[in-house]
Amino acid sequence: MIPRHKIILMVSITLLVVSCTTTTKEKPKSYPPVRGLIAQKAMVVSARKEASKIGADIMKKGGNAFDAMIATEMALAVSYPFAGSLGGGGFMVYRKHTGETGALDYREKAPLAASKNMYLDEKGNPIPDKSTIGALAIGVPGTVAGLFAVHNKFGSLSIDEILSPVIHLAEKGFIVTEKQKARFDAYRDLFVDVNRDTIVWAKAYKTGDTIKNKTLAKTLKRIILNGKDEFYKGETGKKLVKRIQDHGGIITMEDLSKYEAKWRAPIQFTYRDLSIISMSPPSSGGVCLAQIMKMIEPYPISKYRHNQCKTIQVITEAERRAYADRSFYLGDPDFTNIPIDTLLSKAYLSGRMDDFTFDEATDSSAINCGLITGYESDETTHYSIIDPFGNAVSATVTLNGAYGSKLYVPEVGTFLNNEMDDFSTKPGIPNMFGLIGAAANSIAPEKRMLSSMTPTIVEKSGKLWMSVGTPGGSTIITSVLQTILNVKEFGMTMQDAVNAPRFHHQWLPDVIVFEPNSFDHQLLDSLRAKGYHSSEEQSRILGKVDGILVLPDGTLEGGADKRGDDTAVGF
């Protein structure tokens, strides 16, 4: 005889499982749909209103999307030191009005004196914080080289014209927002610890205060005069290297002078009637996005409906498999032989989902990277721009952690990254985003660390349709994915697509992270009944997406993520 309480439990579980496959109640979509800013000709969406406005103004005075990119990124270095800086790096994907596409890698790289085990103790264990905090965590910055590479190839205004409004912003100051104040408060003690003294950012700011950065204004003036060499060979570089070495770092003038941004072929693939152009290695973004979307494509997820059980299952299982491949196969393509063609082939990807069933979760411990024969073996910010000529730019840039290594260079006016943590410091040991890596992403002098940044441009029926991207470390790829699917499969506006609740799975740890208080408890119970592990971490940011959608009448809709101070500005 089965006890009564067990019968009740069995019936409840059966109902939950049934509800998962057939009748889970869908939360109402926002009604009426929320539209973002609509502009007729051009738009910038970024993490700060000041930066979006400066970028849009550059286009108003005749500049193109590439000029606006340089201005926007430098304006973020002034007003958004959390992730914008001269001391980090990034990736940019572009599509010109002619349909020509391309990608720029201005990712940081390991210094010449870096070595494979530099973050391990004598027993071979990772030394806490060594790859994330302070001068040893810094990779050779790529931002200034990247912006000059863009200007040389596509710029239409002079660097002087482009940077002048940014210098004005740095001299006049920007207003501290409530969210920004909270971040300064959270990092104040660490700023003082790492810098062995107080720094301008460690003051107790209030919401509404104005912060000026006259030192950064002076640095930008020197860069206008002396070009890229000012940063990599000149006075600014020397100040930077001195500061780093005084604090125990290993970056030299030789490291700076050898730094080059690299033009790369983007990853391009189709998803139904969309053609997607995204970042190639050393970012994992494009490869993982392509793998996930190709694994999802055979399933009618619009019928399964937005954020419902079967949709979440299919997306989670595709993500689990793609992130397993990421951990093993991906790294800097100049150092690692990446089997991209196989990883993106139809035969390989359809085989990857062979063992998936809707009945129960796949166990991550049962998933490894797929077998490819013959193969030997994280704070960030994003902006999207479309100009009046029809050129589109999608750029994601980073210091890695919030304020990077926390080491600030008062003589230059910028923080420096802690990008070295994006390497696999030891095979199988997770980095600050919980990502596991292997030999493909081990540390070597001059190697670029693997990234998750996924600046992406989407075409529909051969025409520009969307520019999109986000910060969020390992959650970048899955946030970009869900935003594209929200518009394509679930018919959302750009703004609703950006605002919609998100979830994330990255193979290990074997857990679906849901944004807190956004998913129905009955739905979460249904997934648990199928063996999915889940968490709703209160502090977890699942992306802060900024996108622009070209509407059928040719106007532009901005999607500026409500999770931050992000703002669309257009005309």
- Hey, which residues are catalytic here? 380
Shortest distance, CB of residue 306 to ligand GLY, whole angstroms?
26
Using the contact rule CB under 6 A, the part of the chain among 11-19, 114-122, 446-454, 523-531 near ligand GLY is 446-454
- Cβ proximity to ligand GLY, 63 vs 430, nearer residue: 430
Nearer to ligand GLY, 311 or 475 (CB): 475
Amino acid at 358: F
Instruction: Please tell me the number of Cα atoms within 13 Å of 190 on its side-chain side.
Output: 16
Shortest Cβ 502–ligand GLY spacing (Å): 17
Asked whether position 473 contacts ligand GLY by CB under 6 A, the answer is yes
Q: Which is nearer to ligand GLY, 106 or 148 (CB)?
A: 106
Question: Quick one: which of 240, 236, 279 has its CA closest to 139?
Answer: 240
Closest CA to 386 of 82, 54, 79, 96: 96
Smallest gap, in angstroms, from Cβ of residue 285 to ligand GLY? Answer: 8
Interface with ligand GLY, residue 443, by CB under 6 A: no
Return the number of the residue (111 or 473) whose C-beta is nearest ligand GLY: 473
Element containing residue 15 per DSSP (H, E): helix 4-18
- Binder to ligand GLY among 72, 291, 313, 398 (CB under 6 A)? 398
To ligand GLY, the closest distance from the beta carbon of 323 in angstroms equals 13
Single-letter amino acid, residue 324: A
Helix, strand, coil content of the chain in percent (nearest 5): 40, 15, 45
Nearer to ligand GLY, 278 or 313 (CB): 278
Taking the complex as a whole, the smallest distance from the CB of residue 225 to ligand GLY amounts, in Å, to 31
Binding-site member from 400, 478, 482, 493 for ligand GLY (CB under 6 A) = 400
- The residue among 307 and 380 lying less far from ligand GLY, judged by its C-beta, is 380
89 vs 558, beta carbon nearer ligand GLY: 89
Q: Which of 409, 407, 524, 385 has the alpha carbon at shortest distance from 466? A: 385
> Which stretch in 182-190, 192-200, 447-455, 544-552 sits in contact with ligand GLY by CB under 6 A?
447-455
Q: Is residue 81 a contact partner of residue 381, using CB atoms and an 8 Å limit?
A: no
Residue from 453, 527, 548, 549 in contact with ligand GLY (CB under 6 A)? 453
Strand partners, 102: 94
Give the range of 9-17, 448-456, 498-506, 507-515 binding ligand GLY by CB under 6 A.
448-456
Binding mask 410-429 for ligand GLY (x = CB under 6 A): ------------x-------
Q: Does 378 bind ligand GLY (CB under 6 A)?
A: yes
Contact present, 279 and 333 (Cβ < 8 Å): no
Nearby residues of 422 by Cβ (< 8 Å), 6 or more positions away: 378, 400, 431, 441, 449, 450, 451
Our CB check for ligand GLY shows the closer of 266 and 390 to be: 266
Residue 49 is encoded by which pair of tokens? Answer: 């209103």
Cα–Cα distance between 571 and 59 in angstroms, integer? 9
Give the Cα separation of 560 and 36 in Å (integer): 7
* DSSP type of residue 384: E
Taking the complex as a whole, the smallest distance from the CB of residue 288 to ligand GLY amounts, in Å, to 11
Angle made by CA atoms 208, 210, 212, in degrees to the nearest 5: 160
Contact between 451 and ligand GLY by CB under 6 A: the answer reads: yes
Question: Angle 521-529/4-18 helices, nearest 10 degrees?
Answer: 100
List, as one string, the DSSP characters of 292-324. Answer: HHHHHTTS-HHHH-TT-HHHHHHHHHHHHHHHH
- Minimum distance between the CB of residue 476 and ligand GLY, rounded to whole angstroms? 6
CB of 83 to ligand GLY, least distance (A): 9
In sign, the C-alpha dihedral spanning 89, 37, 155, 269 is positive
Between 133 and 550, CB nearer to ligand GLY: 133
Please state the closest distance from residue 549 (CB atom) to ligand GLY, in A: 24
Cross-strand bridge partners of residue 569:
44
Query: Given the complex with ligand GLY, which of 328 and 423 has the nearer CB atom?
Result: 423
> What's the start-to-end Cα distance of the chain, in Å?
73
Choices 189-197, 230-238, 271-279, 450-458; region in contact with ligand GLY by CB under 6 A: 450-458
Residue closer to ligand GLY by CB (options 398, 414) is 398
Contact, 455 vs 93, CB < 8 A?
yes
Closest CA to 349 of 291, 301, 293, 272: 291
**Binding-site size, ligand GLY (CB under 6 A):** 9
Burial of 47 per CB tally in 10 Å (0-12, 13-18, 19+):
buried
* 140 close to 255: Cβ distance less than 8 angstroms: yes
Are the CB atoms for 205 and 176 separated by under 8 Å? yes
Are 212 and 172 contacting, i.e. CB atoms less than 8 angstroms apart? yes
d(CA 323, CA 348): 15
User: At closest approach, how far in Å is the CB of 424 from ligand GLY?
Assistant: 13
- Indicate the DSSP class of residue 126: B
The H-or-E segment that residue 172 falls in is helix 159-172
Is 384 a binding residue for ligand GLY by CB under 6 A? The answer is no
Residue 423 CB, nearest approach to ligand GLY (Å): 11
Can residue 380 be called a binding residue for ligand GLY (CB under 6 A)? yes
| Site residues for ligand GLY per CB under 6 A | 378, 380, 398, 400, 422, 451-453, 473
